Structure 1
Amino acid sequence: MASDLATKAKEAFIDDHFELAVDLYSQAIVIDPQNPELFSDRAQANIKLKNFTDAVADASKAMELDPSNPKAYLRKGTACFSLEEYQTAKTAFEAGSKLAPGYTRFTDWIKKCDKCIEIGELPTQSSDATPTNVVAPGSTTNDVEEVMNISSEVITTPAKPKYRHEFYQKPEEVVVTIFAKGIPANSVSVNYGEQILSVTIDVPGEDPYTFQPRLFGKIVPAKCRYDVLSTKVEIRLAKAESIHWTSLEFVNSSLVVRQSNVSTATQRPSYPSSKPTKDWDKLEAQVKREEKDEKLDGDAALNKFFRDIYKDADDDTRRAMRKSFVESSGTVLSTNWKEVGSKVVEGTPPDGMEMKKWEY
């Protein structure tokens, strides 16, 4: 029974056996996948294990199943705060505070978020801070727990290699493709944070697939979207800044990413290559300029003159030029359709030469 597994999971949580608690909650969820409390409590166990992206996914699922559960909002906010997703965390805390207006922990967390948004870094905890006691999830006393000793280093659990994924990018967005064939749209769940992507594919009768990376750069959740196609799930992430992502997932690196200054309307796709890159737009402009400035003599100049006339002419003029040239065997070129349109154009050979019809 799911309730028995949930009871054992809470006991494991109290004894600080967080990995066992996560495993037991997962077994209970398989039996009762519509129970928001199970997801909310597993989120708290994942927070203790510093599996913050998993915690965000669990809390989001709990919020989806029961939007009136303040614990789910607190746990999502806590996990997002640990991922330095301060704005997303603040949004979750503010929503939770409306559901539990008398609970001061929400107010405290919102103040922490405001401070971190303002200074752009995690608050430093004093060495004499009093540690918070561990309380079992779902307890009636002190129902919502505050997570202390938050680390800026994120530990993420690797996604199961059930489906292959890849990504490419444009100046304004990153497109993530998960190659999952024949997946029902209602089996796919995608959630976004400021720098989090959480994808769950849960097909009945199969093990759930989760892909929850912390992203290389920040995104705009409201502008992100996804499509479930016949052979893949395509996710479009709107970049918060037009920077080049050197990878899909976040890396602790001091490398400075380059700003993308190229207009999105004219930029062409770029692909990795060991050869020196060429500016094809520049080369094309150079060729056109050389053609325009080209100095020609004799027949070449005359041919270019006629080509320019034909290129800029209207339909009647073009018809006249084609008809007169063909019917006269290349000896007459007229631009007057009224003159040549109603008769056969006779050839006019140069002086000293005569027209000759070839027999085939």
Structure 2
Amino acid sequence: MTTPRHEFYETDEKLTLSIFDKGADPTAVNINFEPRKFTYTHGDKTLVLEPLKGQIDADASDFTVGKVKVEVRLIKRAQGRWGALTGDAPDPLSSTPLPQQTSAPTSGTRKPHKNWDGITTSILSSEKEKTTDQDPNVGGDSTLNGFFQKIFADADEDTKRAMMKSYSESGGTTLSTNWDEVGKGKVEVKPPQGSEWKQWG
């Protein structure tokens, strides 16, 4: 058994431990977090830190396995600098109840925060995106406008006149491409079902 080279730096909230184990296999790395003990094993390499200088939050602590080193983040239960990884200093938390949240005072317990943007993005990216040709409603109003602009651009003069006249005279409630019908007279306002048209001004 060999002890891998390691070093650390810390803030008041956490201690970051770098274990230099080049080419470590993430599936073979075994790390165990306990309130006053940390254990790392990988092949014939072992690192045991006990007792830790202060108490850690075993559930909140985590690690990442990189190509050159394994980076471990030990989240401190009480704010403050340790100055060393291990030590027999009396644990100020051993006889006191553990606080819910040390970084910010909150009333009651904090509810886990959901990343709605991330969830929405993952749902949208998992669905196959449609083009405006398949569904004119894709992308909201701007794409819908693009769809109508495409029809307008490809249309003949009579169709363009019908579209402009029907849209403006109906207050935006009707869009017709039939000049024979629209050219006969004023286009009536057709509000959506269940709503009432009122003239403003």
Report the TM range for the smaller structure's normalisation. 0.3 to 0.5
Taking structure 1 as the reference length, what is the TM-score of the superposition? 0.24
Taking structure 2 as the reference length, what is the TM-score of the superposition? 0.43
Q: Name the structure with the higher strand share.
A: 2
Q: Name the structure with the higher helix share.
A: 1
**Higher relative contact order (Cα pairs below 8 Å, separated by 6+ residues):** 2
